Amino acid sequence: MIPPNAVMPALRGAKFGGISALAWDRVHNEVLGLSDDTENSRVFRMSYLEEPFRIVPTGVVLLGKGDGAPAKLDPEGLALLPSGNMLVSSEGFGSEEPRVPPGIFEYRRDGRYVRQLPVPAEFLPTPRGPLTHGVPNNQTFESLALTPDARRLWTGTETSLVQDGPVPTMERGARARLLEYRLENGTFMPNREFLYPLDPLPSVSFTQVGFSVNGLVDLLALSDRELVALERAYVQNTDNPVNDVYRLRMFRVTIDGTPIAPGQDSLAGLSNVAPVTKTLLLDLGSARNLPRALAGLDNFEGIAPVPTRRPRRYEQVPSLQKSPATAILVSDDNFDASQRTWFVKIAFDPALVP
């Protein structure tokens, strides 16, 4: 646990916090953590100590501006390429006019800007006026995951596109979209889209409900057709904030649904698009060994695989040598004095790893 706005000598004056995504850097044997500071976007370098489990910040990489780079980001997703370059997804800025659309941007390991990946038109918000198309404000590309063969990249909308239907309620879920990119001539290009079924909001007993959300906040790629999805829900109690409700769930996702037709702008009214299959792996609120201080499950947004010492009986199983069996989760403290950056280590049942 690290308090918000912590200042450490290794970070050269950069305040620690706002961690919205993680990636494991096997070359440098460290964890990268993306900070969603929209004015000074940066990536923290962190040491991972397995026993006893600790995450220690050791450095910072500032994401460069100029030379075609976006003037500012709302960075939420992070993936590390074999070259060492970083892919960063941004939610854009839907509260400004003209609206800044979501994007995926490539940076070198030292923070220098490289390029932007194309985003299909159906995801782009209405530039001005009423939002009638594209991604809702602040509920866009929260997730980013590179497949083990480094030839496919996955992201997804946190909730449904405006033209696809309403966001989740306590009575029903919503239809988010997964977007696959495929490596072509050295860069990633949009390939396929799939419908991702979001769960409904948690049911609550209080009546004074304020802000509420359930969304897809990160992905971890186990193979080219198996993902782990992280869904985070929040329901605000305007009468008693102590009783706000948080929920964090992990799902095994199999890409077996109906591919959305290329250029399909809206899913509204369509009943012939089968969603991907998702199976609950973990509801963190019911997990064993969860510290009392974490009972609120405040604002977890990132997941990444990390290496682990495997029991000897698995050493001769090639598939388990190639796939993650351990991962860490991180919470975004929003640079708020009442919140914290938590790192939680979880272990996968080897039978669940392809």
Q: d(Cα 53, Cα 321) in Å, to the nearest integer? A: 21
Nearest of 152, 127, 123 to residue 135 by alpha carbon: 123
Domain that holds residue 247: 6-352
Split into its structural domains, the chain has a count of: 1
Stretch 130-134: mean pLDDT:
97
User: Is 240 within the bounds of a domain?
Assistant: yes
Length of the chain (residues): 354
pLDDT of residue 46: 97
Q: What is the mean pLDDT of the chain?
A: 90
pLDDT of residue 122: 97
Residues contacting residue 313 through CB under 8 Å, at least 6 positions apart: none
Q: Phi and psi at residue 334, in whole multiples of 5°?
A: 55, 20
**pLDDT tens digits, 173-207:** 999 999 999 999 999 999 999 999 999 999 999 99
Band (316; pLDDT cuts 50, 70, 90): very low
Is the pLDDT score of 321 beyond 50? Answer: no
Residues contacting residue 280 through CB under 8 Å, at least 6 positions apart: 249, 250, 251
Check which CATH number belongs to the domain holding 250 and give it: 2.120.10
Report the chain's C-alpha Rg in angstroms: 19
Q: How many CB atoms lie within 10 A of CB 279?
A: 10
Q: d(Cα 61, Cα 11) in Å, to the nearest integer? A: 9
At 156, list the tokens. Answer: 């997804």
Higher pLDDT, 181 or 347: 181
User: Is 265 within the bounds of a domain?
Assistant: yes
pTM of the prediction?
A: 0.92
**pLDDT tens digits, 77-123:** 999 999 999 999 999 999 999 999 999 999 999 999 999 999 999 99
Lowest-confidence segment of 32-36, 211-215, 244-248 by average pLDDT: 244-248
User: Is 87 within the bounds of a domain?
Assistant: yes
Q: d(Cα 332, Cα 69) in Å, to the nearest integer? A: 25
Band (323; pLDDT cuts 50, 70, 90): very low
User: Is 282 within the bounds of a domain?
Assistant: yes
pLDDT of residue 284: 85
SS3 111: coil
Is the pLDDT score of 3 beyond 60? Answer: yes
Higher pLDDT, 202 or 312: 202
Give the E-state strand segments of 63-144 in sequence order.
75-80, 86-90, 103-107, 113-117
Percent of the chain with pLDDT over 70: 91
User: Is 242 within the bounds of a domain?
Assistant: yes
User: Is 1 within the bounds of a domain?
Assistant: no
